[in-house]
Amino acid sequence: MDYVYGPGRNHLFVPGPVNIPEPVLRAMNRNNEDYRSPAVPAMTKILLEDVKKIFKTTTGTTFMIPTTGTGAWESALTNTLSPGDRIVSFLIGQFSLLWIDQQQRLNFKVDVVESEWGQGANLDILASKLAEDTAHTIKAICIVHNETATGVTNNLAQVRRILDEYRHPALFLVDGVSSICALDFRMDEWGVDVALTGSQKALSLPTGIGIVCASPKALEASKTAKSVRVFFDWNDYLKFYKLGTYWPYTPSIQLLYGLRTALDLIFEEGLDNVIARHSRLGKATRLAVEAWGLKNCTQSEEWFSDTVTAVLVPPYIDSTEIVRRAWKRYNLSLGLGLNKIAGKVFRIGHLGNLNELQLLGCLAGVEMVLRDVGYPVKLGSGVAAASAYFQNNTPLIPSRI
Amino acid sequence: MDYVYGPGRNHLFVPGPVNIPEPVLRAMNRNNEDYRSPAVPAMTKILLEDVKKIFKTTTGTTFMIPTTGTGAWESALTNTLSPGDRIVSFLIGQFSLLWIDQQQRLNFKVDVVESEWGQGANLDILASKLAEDTAHTIKAICIVHNETATGVTNNLAQVRRILDEYRHPALFLVDGVSSICALDFRMDEWGVDVALTGSQKALSLPTGIGIVCASPKALEASKTAKSVRVFFDWNDYLKFYKLGTYWPYTPSIQLLYGLRTALDLIFEEGLDNVIARHSRLGKATRLAVEAWGLKNCTQSEEWFSDTVTAVLVPPYIDSTEIVRRAWKRYNLSLGLGLNKIAGKVFRIGHLGNLNELQLLGCLAGVEMVLRDVGYPVKLGSGVAAASAYFQNNTPLIPSRI
Amino acid sequence: MDYVYGPGRNHLFVPGPVNIPEPVLRAMNRNNEDYRSPAVPAMTKILLEDVKKIFKTTTGTTFMIPTTGTGAWESALTNTLSPGDRIVSFLIGQFSLLWIDQQQRLNFKVDVVESEWGQGANLDILASKLAEDTAHTIKAICIVHNETATGVTNNLAQVRRILDEYRHPALFLVDGVSSICALDFRMDEWGVDVALTGSQKALSLPTGIGIVCASPKALEASKTAKSVRVFFDWNDYLKFYKLGTYWPYTPSIQLLYGLRTALDLIFEEGLDNVIARHSRLGKATRLAVEAWGLKNCTQSEEWFSDTVTAVLVPPYIDSTEIVRRAWKRYNLSLGLGLNKIAGKVFRIGHLGNLNELQLLGCLAGVEMVLRDVGYPVKLGSGVAAASAYFQNNTPLIPSRI
Amino acid sequence: MDYVYGPGRNHLFVPGPVNIPEPVLRAMNRNNEDYRSPAVPAMTKILLEDVKKIFKTTTGTTFMIPTTGTGAWESALTNTLSPGDRIVSFLIGQFSLLWIDQQQRLNFKVDVVESEWGQGANLDILASKLAEDTAHTIKAICIVHNETATGVTNNLAQVRRILDEYRHPALFLVDGVSSICALDFRMDEWGVDVALTGSQKALSLPTGIGIVCASPKALEASKTAKSVRVFFDWNDYLKFYKLGTYWPYTPSIQLLYGLRTALDLIFEEGLDNVIARHSRLGKATRLAVEAWGLKNCTQSEEWFSDTVTAVLVPPYIDSTEIVRRAWKRYNLSLGLGLNKIAGKVFRIGHLGNLNELQLLGCLAGVEMVLRDVGYPVKLGSGVAAASAYFQNNTPLIPSRI
């Protein structure tokens, strides 16, 4: 028995790990298998092709590494760069900060471009840096597509435009951990060189696969990249791809079958419908926040995130208490504020396998918690705003028409 | 892949089968076992004792029959009565109607006491019948504790008082299918002779166990009852209880382990807390219905049900369309109106392993559906009413304090 | 934690309930669903058609009743016969005895044709009874296809030939609990009127569905059969079949999905291949018994069962001790001897989702247990005999060629 | 449906990933959870203590890293050593070879001490190297406890004795991937500085946790070790241990609950009983190999492995064909010969949650496959030898006495 058991479902609204669909749980409910039998490589081969679709790439090469998003970061960096390489990286929240910390510890020379938390990457500075860098000393641009700590989505198409404008050959490395499979992401169109995500985010699986996708240019870079790597070395994978056995070391059988089903569900719904659903969920959440009279941590509409909303609380309230109380009283799991916005925001994750009524239940819960902690929200106000939007914009479930 | 797949959770608010808690799903996720090994009888013995607690009996004898509620009805009747026996039975909705149909087909002579659907059992007529029956020709009183079709809870304590008043020896048989483990039920205190429920109701298991509890008086009656029975014969069970092997035929191993966990969860929460939670859920639902400006099918407060609410819709709306649309657009499963109230009511089941935020998500969904079908509900109004109640009345989850 | 936990797999070789395939466990690992939604009837409709295939019938009507084999028996009898009807029934072991007991308690007039346990049904007596019965007072022949207690398979084709020879209109009712989906069974070709099985036998599901198939003649008989029945009444099902909602009461959602997968697995393997596999398993088991110098309880080859083998032990050994020790020392579950052969036989069930190496592990275990209890078996002897047969007769797994 | 479906259980006898116990599968059958709630850290804290027991350490510090054995290797090396450090490493088979490859790519200066495959580590050379190294240029000894490719178990106590004899301060790093939880391993007693295993080996979980245990001396070394590391950095874990939140990045919720249950099962059986069971399984396998007239790849009894047996086949047989055929015909998964012994050996993994009858089924299968490929084995001979041993040495299952 769980020692923190509460009746009914846990309402899981942290921005990861997210709710796993029942069909995926079923698919993973299995014994181990010999990963050297013909079955596992055959499945792996198809998976490696199919995961390309969530990156919107046909030219990329995919790696499904038994690791987390942090490991996927490391894989992206060490396979393409050499110690001392200069990179430009944007600090806009806790996760970009952690990535930059990793970049520095891996001995890259990082130009940190900092924004106020709640703002997106300062691309003007990027432009000026690239403009100055006629010698092409900048080897890579590292950017999170969606900063999970603040609910800020960066404009990747704009990054590409700037790179093109200055005809700069820097690699374009993207953390898509809280975006891919939820936000519009176009690897090939945007000329992204390495993109990565984690299985426990919008793919709605357990933690355990860091999915990395490398462009031909990134693969080429990996041939000369001098960063030390073994576990994360793409080359070990590529060797086994050629052999047709696919795995340099033991994969999780359960996660492979889970990924198979997760992709099947996404393809059945349609990736663009999945993205549209996230857009609905994000919009509805923001309408609720507005109705509550609270501020979104994200300072401008251009950066609004459809996967996570960080909500600023009035100064007299400790947002940590909101998260604590939500869990203790309503079995609702919300995201904490992190680092410099600890206590100041709470976060609603609205990504992954989630639908409108689940979100409305969460919003109703947040309203009660807000009152619990002394904020005079009008109960039902956020739900009303969100459901008005949903009622006008939610399509029938295609399989049920 | 399910061919009616929709993203996110299904919101299951029919009044049975209900949501199964994850720990119960886990417990049932197992291979078959030899039910003649020492393990299964040992577990069965304890289960037979523990299920008594949900009936609030210490003197009863329990039977866990591999059947549904309909089979449990048949077991209650055929083990205690003989063809031609006169019984009094109350017709107040579709399920009491079906039980009466069964009683008649089993060749009992049924005094049907009919109420308008939406009203409870007419106990005045019971009193007058008992008053007249000085010869004790009435062998049993059959009553549903909670009529699932209309959301009407009968007053069982009052039935006992009437029986006692007339010192009438009739057996007191209770259908507790949508009440036991959710509503206050007191077998011993109320002198109930046979009570029964089904695993897929408030116990929150899959369908498959009809749980029947017999008082000593009922057991005594079974010795002379002449109704033909084999599969449902208590005596076959009693024989195997004595042998210590417990099963006259093969039980579902999975359901036994599931029941073990379901009871553990109920006992951990505390049966009285479970009942209080249902009371909160019922009250909140009724407040929402009121806020929507709709009528409860239940005509008087004395009969309000804390496990299911049947909501009357305006004459210009077909409630079937509400149920259909809820499922097709919002992945929300509501109960249909049945028989003479088909098209006129939809039902919200709020029983079993369910918490406040789940219900609020449902209520928000109902609001949207109501607008979809042309009823001018104010979005958020029901949620506001319900959550105001919840915010004042929901305790902290004890395991998390 | 199970309080009888032992490391490794339980080796389940009782003749039911049997091993559940992993894909079936996965399919059943799910929450409840509204059985009145469009999804469940749609699935039910196809299932009712597909289960016909395991009976080899195109003209039969199928019922999937939430009950056990005992309930399926009752359904077969009460829907086709009236109290006082004369039937011929064969007593050849514990399960045919229990069915006869049921027949008598249901008030039929049973001509019991008894054979020594270990022999098949005495069809000569059937012939003479039919010959004498020119007035057609015999309304039904009731026979188990496979007597699970003794491992005896009756010759149903011969029963049909005898009925035809005497142009006797008696209904032909067959208990196929331990045969259907494992032994060759041909409902239409053999003119069987009612056949039935249980989900926990060769279908390899949990207990909980009694599957009954009725010929047009049986359906016709049900219109005039006067046996009292409600829960088991086919007519209630037929009514809901016509409505397209299919269920007179709540089915187990989990078992429906489990049955879907179980049938998919059987059809993928091919029903005839399934039967051939059981034939291999049965033959191999008998070769092992012979190699051990022990006798098969089945007295003649014509009755050998391919689903269960009852093994006679020498008089100085108590077979109950064999079963007990197998479970306590080797995590091996064998079948007990029942009733008059208690202590004299143990049983090896070799039906359901089972392969050659599983059986060889069992046989190796039986050898060790035999030595444990003092029988001087040559270790490896039975395994050698069985594997010699398997090595010559096992085909490659088609999906892996 | 699996496209390589075969009826019955897959017989999984590769030396990893291994069979997962049903209770562990059940424990992992769950949705994701917020790993920042109070529940997950509380569970983690206890797990970190409990996993120490499988290392037999009280002074070690444990890390449960979301990675594989290969990642655990990298963690052990990079946290304790600096580029250019001299280490002594033993090449005795494919897995020690891969570790050495990693050591070299991580820029350590490796003294490779090679043995013939089938022999253990040459500890005489270790002794002479240590004797010579009065300047203590050797920073670490790296050794696999059990070489999975050849079935060779090294004598770790002897390594410690040699280190002590020369009072050499080198770190003692042990790959326990195919030993810990199956073979006798004593971290504290043997003065091991870093030991590691993977969840999919004797712990009988899915792949996904690299478990690393560091002695105080190793932790001290980590403070000055200059190898670049981020994802694998112990310091990030230690920081979060201090905070009481325990996780620098997202763990697999499912694997944590799975590990909890896996440890519970091991502790219920008793770690020493688990080791004794592996000893029985190993001994029985070797007796079977001998009875078949085949040679163990392991050249001397001192190195016999109780977790995996590599069997040499006659030169006229391709062992790859044995593995292929076992899978295609008997649903039996055996281990291939790797690298220089490819085609020459097949491997029987006998580790993890496995019992006697499972192994006997495997051995019976191997016998049939051997005949299939033309080796004139006497069927039943290996099973007889193994079961004679088992019958004399298998204890009753304690929970069933």
Q: What is the pLDDT of residues D229-243, one digit of tens each?
A: 999 999 999 999 999
Which of C181, C111, C178, C189 minimizes the C-alpha distance to C144? C178
pLDDT at D175: 98
Tokens encoding B95? 């399920």
- Quick one: angle between helices D356-372 and C381-393, nearest 10? 50
Angle at the Cα of A340 from the Cα atoms of A338 and A341, rounded to 5 degrees:
60
Q: How many CB pairs under 8 A join A and B?
A: 192
Instruction: Annotate D51-114 with DSSP letters as a single string.
Output: HHHHHT-SS-EEEEESS-HHHHHHHHHHTT--TT-EEEEEE-SHHHHHHHHHHHHTT-EEEEEE
Phi-psi region of C167 (alpha: psi -120 to 50; beta: other; left: phi over 0): left
pLDDT in tens, A261-283: 999 999 999 999 999 999 999 99
Q: Say whether pLDDT at D1 is over 70.
A: no
The answer to whether the Cβ–Cβ distance between D358 and C8 falls below 8 Å is: yes
Q: pLDDT grade, residue A3 (50/70/90)?
A: confident
**Spatial separation of the C-alpha atoms in residues B99 and B110, rounded to whole Å:** 11
The end-to-end CA distance of chain D, in Å, is 40
B31 closest CB neighbour out of D22, D27, D30: D22
A37 closest CB neighbour out of D36, D228, D333: D333
Mean pLDDT to the nearest integer, D331-339: 98
Angle at the Cα of B131 from the Cα atoms of B130 and B136, rounded to 5 degrees:
55
DSSP 8-state secondary structure symbol assigned to residue B89? E
Tokens encoding A356? 């409108």
Q: Say whether pLDDT at A2 is over 80.
A: no
State whether residue D46 is helix, strand or coil: helix
Q: Are B40 and A390 in contact (CB under 8 A)?
A: no
Instruction: Annotate B130-193 with DSSP letters as a single string.
Output: HHH-TT--EEEEEEESEETTTTEE--HHHHHHHHHHTT---EEEEE-TTTTTTS---TTTTT-S
State whether residue A29 is helix, strand or coil: coil
Q: pLDDT grade, residue C297 (50/70/90)?
A: very high
Backbone φ and ψ of A326, nearest 5°: -55, -40
Considering only CB atoms, which chain D residues are within 8 Å of A233? 105
Could you give the percent of chain B with pLDDT greater than 70?
100
Which of A347, A365, A355, A363 minimizes the C-alpha distance to A395? A355
C387 closest CB neighbour out of D379, D387, D397: D379
In the block, tokens 């059969």 appear at C225
**Spatial separation of the C-alpha atoms in residues A340 and A363, rounded to whole Å:** 25
Residue of B nearest to D21 (CA): B30
Torsion sign (Cα): A347, A160, A98, D258:
positive
Using CA atoms, how far residue A324 sits from A102, A294, A335, A351, in Å, is 30, 19, 10, 21
Residue of B nearest to D28 (CA): B26
Mean pLDDT to the nearest integer, C214-232: 98
Q: Say whether pLDDT at B2 is over 90.
A: no
**Spatial separation of the C-alpha atoms in residues B91 and A328, rounded to whole Å:** 43
Considering only CB atoms, which chain C residues are within 8 Å of A22? 29-31
Mean pLDDT to the nearest integer, C142-155: 98
**Spatial separation of the C-alpha atoms in residues A119 and A297, rounded to whole Å:** 9
Torsion sign (Cα): D320, D324, D325, D327:
positive
Q: Kindly give the residue spans of alpha helices, DSSP state H, lying in C166-233.
A: 187-190, 216-222
pLDDT in tens, A375-393: 999 999 999 999 999 999 9
Q: Are C151 and C309 in contact (CB under 8 A)?
A: yes
Q: Say whether pLDDT at D220 is over 60.
A: yes
Stated as kind and residue range, the H or E segment containing B309 is: strand B308-312
Using CA atoms, how far residue A350 sits from A117, A181, A265, A307, B336, in Å, is 20, 13, 18, 5, 31
Q: Say whether pLDDT at D363 is over 70.
A: yes
pLDDT at C3: 73
Which of A153, A7, A159, A40 minimizes the C-alpha distance to A88? A159
pLDDT in tens, D276-321: 999 999 999 999 999 999 999 999 999 999 999 999 999 999 999 9
Residue of C nearest to A1 (CA): C1
Q: Which of B236, B252, B351, B362 to mutate to test the interface with C (most CBs of C within 10 A)?
A: B252
**Spatial separation of the C-alpha atoms in residues C50 and C203, rounded to whole Å:** 13
State whether residue D173 is helix, strand or coil: strand
pLDDT in tens, A332-367: 999 999 999 999 999 999 999 999 999 999 999 999
**Spatial separation of the C-alpha atoms in residues B196 and B176, rounded to whole Å:** 5
pLDDT in tens, D7-24: 999 999 999 999 999 999
The answer to whether the Cβ–Cβ distance between A254 and D18 falls below 8 Å is: no
Mean pLDDT to the nearest integer, C142-168: 98
Q: pLDDT grade, residue B3 (50/70/90)?
A: confident
Phi-psi region of D329 (alpha: psi -120 to 50; beta: other; left: phi over 0): alpha
The answer to whether the Cβ–Cβ distance between A206 and D249 falls below 8 Å is: no
Helix, strand, coil percent values for chain C (each to nearest 5):
45, 15, 40
pLDDT at A1: 52
Q: Say whether pLDDT at D48 is over 70.
A: yes
Q: Are C148 and C308 in contact (CB under 8 A)?
A: yes
Q: How far is C90 from chain B (nearest CA, A)?
A: 19
DSSP 8-state secondary structure symbol assigned to residue D332? E
**Spatial separation of the C-alpha atoms in residues B307 and B37, rounded to whole Å:** 39
**Spatial separation of the C-alpha atoms in residues C357 and C277, rounded to whole Å:** 12
Q: What is the ipTM of this complex?
A: 0.97
**Spatial separation of the C-alpha atoms in residues B143 and B89, rounded to whole Å:** 6
pLDDT in tens, D171-210: 999 999 999 999 999 999 999 999 999 999 999 999 999 9
Q: Say whether pLDDT at D2 is over 80.
A: no
**Spatial separation of the C-alpha atoms in residues D279 and D302, rounded to whole Å:** 14
Q: Say whether pLDDT at C27 is over 80.
A: yes
Tokens encoding D374? 């033309």
Q: Are C336 and C323 in contact (CB under 8 A)?
A: yes
pLDDT in tens, B229-263: 999 999 999 999 999 999 999 999 999 999 999 99
Residues in chain B: 401
Phi-psi region of A339 (alpha: psi -120 to 50; beta: other; left: phi over 0): left
Residue of B nearest to A365 (CA): B357
Phi-psi region of A184 (alpha: psi -120 to 50; beta: other; left: phi over 0): beta
Q: Say whether pLDDT at B1 is over 70.
A: no
Q: Which of B20, B31, B354, B362 to mutate to test the interface with C (most CBs of C within 10 A)?
A: B31
Stated as kind and residue range, the H or E segment containing C332 is: strand C332-334
Torsion sign (Cα): C254, C260, C263, C267:
negative
The answer to whether the Cβ–Cβ distance between C7 and D331 falls below 8 Å is: no
Residues 6+ apart with CB under 8 A from A29: A254, B29, C22, C25, C26, C29, D25, D29
pLDDT in tens, A170-195: 999 999 999 999 999 999 999 999 99
Neighbours of D400 (CB within 10 A): 17
* Burial grade of B276 (CB within 10 A; 0-12, 13-18, 19 or more): middle
Using CA atoms, how far residue C92 sits from C121, C220, C320, C350, in Å, is 6, 30, 21, 20
Using CA atoms, how far residue B96 sits from B114, B173, D352, in Å, is 10, 12, 55
pLDDT at A132: 98
Tokens encoding A33? 């298998």
Output the average pLDDT for chain B. Answer: 97
Residue of C nearest to D367 (CA): C387
Considering only CB atoms, which chain B residues are within 8 Å of C19? 31-32
**Spatial separation of the C-alpha atoms in residues B281 and B305, rounded to whole Å:** 10
Q: Are A347 and A150 in contact (CB under 8 A)?
A: no
Per DSSP, what are the bridge partners of residue A90?
Answer: A113
Which of A160, A138, A159, A143 minimizes the C-alpha distance to A95? A143
